[in-house]
Amino acid sequence: MLAPMKYAAPATVEEARALLAADGGARVFAGATDLIPQIRAGRPEPSMMIDLKRIDRLSGIARAGSTWTIGAATPTADIVAHAGFAAEFPGLAEASGLIGSDQIQNRCTWGGNLVNASPAADTPPALIVNDAKAVIASAGGERTVAAAEVATGPGATCLGADEIIVEFTLASPPPRTADAYLRLIPRTEMDIAVVGAAARVTLAPDGAVTAAAVALGAVAPTVVRVPDAEAALIGGPLTDDALEAVAQAASAACRPIDDKRGTVAYRRRVAGVLARRAVAIAADRAAADQRGASS
Amino acid sequence: MSRVHVTCTVNGDETEFLCDGGQTLLNALRDELGLTGAKEGCGTGDCGSCSVIIDGRLTCSCLVLAPEAQGAAVLTVEGLASGDDLHPLQQSFLEGAALQCGVCTPGILMAAAALLDRNPDPTETEVRYGLAGNLCRCTGYDKIVRSVLAAADSQRTTSQRTNTEETA
Where exactly are the structural domains of chain A? 6-51, 60-171, 177-288
**Average pLDDT value for residue range B56-79:** 98
Q: What is the pLDDT of residue A208?
A: 97
Instruction: Give me the DSSP letters along A214-269.
Output: EEEESSSSS-EE-HHHHHHHTTS---HHHHHHHHHHHHHH-----BTTB-HHHHHH
Q: A177-288 in CATH: which number?
A: 3.30.390.50
Q: What is the pLDDT of residue A189?
A: 87
| Residues β-bridged to residue A63 | A68
What is the CA angle A266-A272-A274, rounded to 5? 95
Q: What is the pLDDT of residue A295?
A: 39
Q: What is the pLDDT of residue A97?
A: 97
Q: A60-171 in CATH: which number?
A: 3.30.465.10
Q: Which residues of B touch A45 (CB under 8 A)?
A: 22
Parallel/antiparallel/unpaired status of strands B73-75 and B51-54: antiparallel
Q: What is the pLDDT of residue B65?
A: 98
Q: What is the pLDDT of residue A147?
A: 98
Q: Does residue B17 register a pLDDT over 70?
A: yes
Q: In whole angstroms, what is the distance from residue B66 CA to residue B69 CA?
A: 6
% residues pLDDT > 90 (chain B):
90
Q: Does residue B167 register a pLDDT over 80?
A: no
C-beta atoms of A32 and B4 within 8 A: no
B114 min Cα distance to partner chain A (Å): 10
A23 min Cα distance to partner chain B (Å): 16
Q: Which residues of A touch B63 (CB under 8 A)?
A: 31-33, 36-37, 104, 107
Chain A contact probe: residue of B24, B65, B127 with most A CBs at under 10 A: B65
C-beta atoms of A49 and B130 within 8 A: no
Q: What is the pLDDT of residue B36?
A: 98
Q: What digits encode the pLDDT tens for the residues B24-51?
A: 999 999 999 999 999 999 999 999 999 9
Question: B88-162, which class in CATH?
Answer: mainly alpha
**Average pLDDT value for residue range B64-68:** 98
Q: What is the pLDDT of residue A293?
A: 56
Q: Does residue B72 register a pLDDT over 80?
A: yes
Parallel/antiparallel/unpaired status of strands A26-29 and A48-51: parallel
Question: B4-79, which class in CATH?
Answer: alpha beta
Please state, rounded to an integer, the average pLDDT across all residues of chain B: 95
C-beta atoms of A104 and B62 within 8 A: no
Q: What digits encode the pLDDT tens for the residues B134-166?
A: 999 999 999 999 999 999 999 988 888 777 776
B60: left (phi over 0), alpha (psi -120 to 50) or beta: beta
CB atoms within 10 A of CB B55: 14
**Amino acid found at B137:** R
C-beta atoms of B114 and A6 within 8 A: no
Fold of A6-51: 3.30.43
Residues of chain A where predicted confidence (pLDDT) is lower than 70: 1-3, 292-295
